[in-house]
Amino acid sequence: MKKKIILVSGDPNSINSELIYKSLKKLNSSVKNKIYLITNFNLIEKQLNKLNYKMKFEVVKNIQEQTNSGKIKVINIDLKFKNPFNIPRTLSSRFVQRSLSLAHELAMEKNVIGLINCPINKNLLNAGKTGVTEYLASKCGIKNNSEVMLIKNKKLSVSPITTHIDIKEVSKRINKTKIVKKVLTINKWFKNIYKKNPNIGVLGLNPHNAEFRNKSEEKKIIIPAILQLKHMGINVKGPLVSDTIFMQEYKDYDVLVGMFHDQVLAPFKALFKFDAINITLGLNYLRASPDHGIAVNLIGKNKANPKSLIKCIEYMNKS
């Protein structure tokens, strides 16, 4: 059998069951046969029944089991959910962490392309101190800040140097070494995957780049990092001004690297909506996830848009 794709159902208090149903219904049988869904069988079945969705599942013990039944293969996380529509945080956290840990173990096997996780509330991981990017990086033993969160589509990629932290912490968590390592990871990935030296733009942190004041992060951290990268032969420019770069100039770049999450993700999503996927670079395997959250306001309403999850599966299948 061709290489396999691990799909993690993610946060149980979410639109994920709906996303999974809508996405898998649009895939051809050859792609569906590659997918092993990590979830709780009873949980997803009850959530889909509430939406009047019908999908046939088959519980398997591991990814070595191969079937031609046409059913979606499920590796069951054996937990008891009394109410499948209002799950306590402690139980949700246990479910998510067990799912991700199993997915990590399976993704390390040679016959697996990689893993996709559906959206997860980061408060379920390490009391909200880390997101899935950092959680999996820790599982892979990465301690040098070289892992990268990259949001991409065919027109543009963006990446934040810091990910899921409060704004007040950003200036404390950026440094020259971190910027250099992450840009090098991005550059290496583009060369490996697309056989090109990408045009990389690095944004400043402050409005108008703090007018390049001597004590600004631009002067002390960002410009020295850019100069070092240029000296290493990386095609990088900056610091660019955040409030205008996404108007038109972004089209000149393959990747825009920002200092914090919403600096690059908010304008990117305003431009491209659901036409993007979230990829983690620098892990021991491929990892992707939809470029949106758990959308609790849409649970049970049959309004969830599966476009980003479908693109994740397509990306993984072509890798």
User: Which structure tokens are listed for 116?
Assistant: 């996709």
Give the separation between CA 260 and CA 262, rounded to whole angstroms: 6
Give the separation between CA 271 and CA 291, rounded to whole angstroms: 13
What pLDDT sits at residue 46? 93
User: Which structure tokens are listed for 235?
Assistant: 């095609």
- Using one digit for the tens of pLDDT, what is the confidence trace for 230-286? 999 999 999 999 999 999 999 999 999 999 999 999 999 999 988 899 999 989 999
Long-range Cβ contact pairs of 71-76 (< 8 A, separation 24 or more): 72/24, 72/32, 72/35, 72/37, 73/35, 73/36, 73/37, 74/36, 74/37, 74/38, 74/39, 74/41, 74/44, 75/36, 75/37, 75/38, 75/39, 75/102, 76/39, 76/40, 76/41
Those residues whose C-beta lies under 8 Å from the C-beta of residue 166, and which sit 6 or more positions away, are: none
Give the separation between CA 59 and CA 37, rounded to whole angstroms: 9
Question: Hey, what domains does the chain have and what are their CATH numbers?
Answer: 1-142+283-319 (3.40.718.10), 145-276 (3.40.718.10)
Residue 128 pLDDT > 70:
no
User: Which structure tokens are listed for 45?
Assistant: 């079945």
Helix (H, G, I), strand (E, B) or coil at 159: strand
What kind and span of H or E run contains 73? Answer: strand 72-76
Rounded to an integer, what is the distance from CA 98 to the centroid of its chain? 18
CB 313 within 8 A of CB 31: yes
- Using one digit for the tens of pLDDT, what is the confidence trace for 45-65? 999 999 999 999 999 988 887
Q: Whole-model pTM?
A: 0.87
Q: What average pLDDT does the segment 31-55 reach? A: 94
